[in-house]
Chains A and B, each alone.
Chain A
Amino acid sequence: MNVLVPTPLHSYTGRKHVEGNGPTLRAVLEDLDRQFPGIRFRMIDEQDRMRPHIRFFVNGHQVFDLEQPLRATDDLRILQALSGG
């Protein structure tokens, strides 16, 4: 599926759009980590919790569960969410 990567993670991917594969959000993130080692830990902590300022949207709807089922045709957007100076 198409994955939109936020700018803070472009140092890993080198581009805005990448291809990720897997039946769940967890599996897609693991696939991304195989392609771009280290990227998952910047988004998901060691207890498998989403980091506070990282948000995941599937087809425009925010998801909070790593076990969220995904289809190959879904659109996954990863966003940074933070305000402040």
Chain B
Amino acid sequence: MARTTRKRSARSARPRVKAGSTGSPHRTTLLVATRKGAWLFQGDPARRSWRAEGPHFLGHIVNHLVLDPRDGRTLLAAAKTGHLGPTVFRSTDRGRTWKEAARPPAFAKAPDGTGRAVDHSFWLTPAHANEPGVWYAGTSPQGLFRSEDGGVSWEPFSMINDDAQYREWMGTVQDGTPDGPKLHSVIVDPRDPKHLYFGMSGGGVHESKDGGKSFRPLVKGMEVVEGFDPATVTFHDPHCVRMCPTNPDRLYQQNHCGIYRLDRPGDTWVRVGRAMPKTVGDIGFPLVAHPRDAETVWVFPMDGTTVWPRTSPDGKPAVYETRNGGSSWKRLDAGLPRKQAWWTVKRQAMAGDAHDPVGLYFGTTSGELWASRDEGRSWSALARHLPEIYAVETAAFA
């Protein structure tokens, strides 16, 4: 089993923080996963200065790095390299040392050898607060896995991985995103550990009310690419689904075809992105929900016209905010480049903290890490010259 020890790299611009010296839950740590490794950025209590720790796993493709909020100390990293198969690393000492999962997510072996193989674990979600040590993982190609021992061993979860109908909805590798079709946005209802959601790119949004024994599609109201039938689940491409922390009956979704809101028990998504400026559109990858206000979310639009450049529209990046559930949107770009900035933000690469006002953070495809301490009113670059950023999460270590 591979064990890695964090190297005291000279790459960090500032002195490293001794373990335990930033243990206050009031301090925010940013968990940054990139195409070439992972970094932790530790903020001071005012979130004005940040210290970089890393790289961890230099050269590894790290798709997600997540802290277990139930114990405040277990970190899981979904990683692979260009040569080696996928795995999950685990740390319980703030990333000083890492230990590989004994059994990483892997599909069941097919007797005829034609079964699927996990290319990479893409999404990590800690399960319900009353299920300590339980985690979910979404993979590429689309698969759902569960660990009941804090990420040490993983097993295929629910019926979807091998169900014929779900396999049809998942489509083939050719139907997926450029670096592989993905299962993402695994969401656990804080009121009920058996109430689960996930999204698939492609393959739609799905819900379980029985702890994963069964799932059913939840795609009514969602649009698909022109000329295709929205009744066909395969054609749906949710990019990111979020549940409002203070109102678990409200979901927001950034889709390949717009921004949506769903209020349960209703089952029809409403395209609230139609209120976005026409020159910007409502296409993008990430979406962040306010931790205390279900009317407020933030998105990061990208150019989804013509050949889908997937860059900031017109080279002018901006976050857009709604404070009224999507009825209207406001551009937030103070401090961001005014022109000729052609990056974008991937679906896991934007996050908010729990402070008041909320801190917002995003990482770009060009390796820049941006932060706002005032809910997007002003932005400043926290780091530059990182590898392409795949995911940004906020964490409060115990």
Contacts and interface: CB of A to CB of B under 8 A. Distances in A.
Interface of A: 6, 8-9, 11-12, 36-39, 41-49, 51, 53-54, 80-82, 84
Nearest to A54: B83
B115 A37 contact: no
16 contacts: A8-B81, A12-B2, A38-B102, A38-B104, A41-B104, A41-B106, A43-B85, A45-B85, A46-B106, A46-B115, A47-B109, A48-B113, A53-B82, A81-B83, A82-B82, A82-B83
Interface of B: 1-4, 81-85, 87, 100-102, 104, 106-110, 113-118
A51 B109 contact: no
Contacts of A38: 1-2, 87, 100-102, 104
Nearest to B59: A8
A48 B2 contact: no
Nearest to A9: B84
B1 A80 contact: no
A42 B1 CA distance: 11
B1 A51 contact: no
Given A38-B100, A46-B115, A47-B117, A8 B106 contact: no
Contacts of A39: 2
A51 B116 CA distance: 12
Given A38-B87, A46-B109, A11 B118 contact: no
A41 B102 CA distance: 10
Contacts of B114: 47
Q: Which of B1, B2, B82, B106 has the most chain A CB atoms inside 10 A of its CB?
A: B2
B115 A47 contact: yes
Q: Which of A41, A49, A81 has the most chain B CB atoms inside 10 A of its CB?
A: A41
A47 B85 contact: no
A32 B102 CA distance: 15
A36 B1 contact: yes
Contact of B117 (A6, A43, A49): A49
Q: Which of A11, A36, A37, A43 has the most chain B CB atoms inside 10 A of its CB?
A: A11
B80 to A, nearest CB: 8
A81 B104 CA distance: 23
Contact of A6 (B3, B83, B115): B83
Contacts of A8: 81, 83-84
Contacts of A53: 82-83
Contacts of B116: 47
A6 B59 CA distance: 15
A43 B85 CA distance: 6
A51 B84 contact: yes
Given A39-B2, A46-B117, 8 more contacts: A11-B4, A38-B1, A43-B84, A46-B118, A47-B113, A48-B109, A54-B84, A81-B83
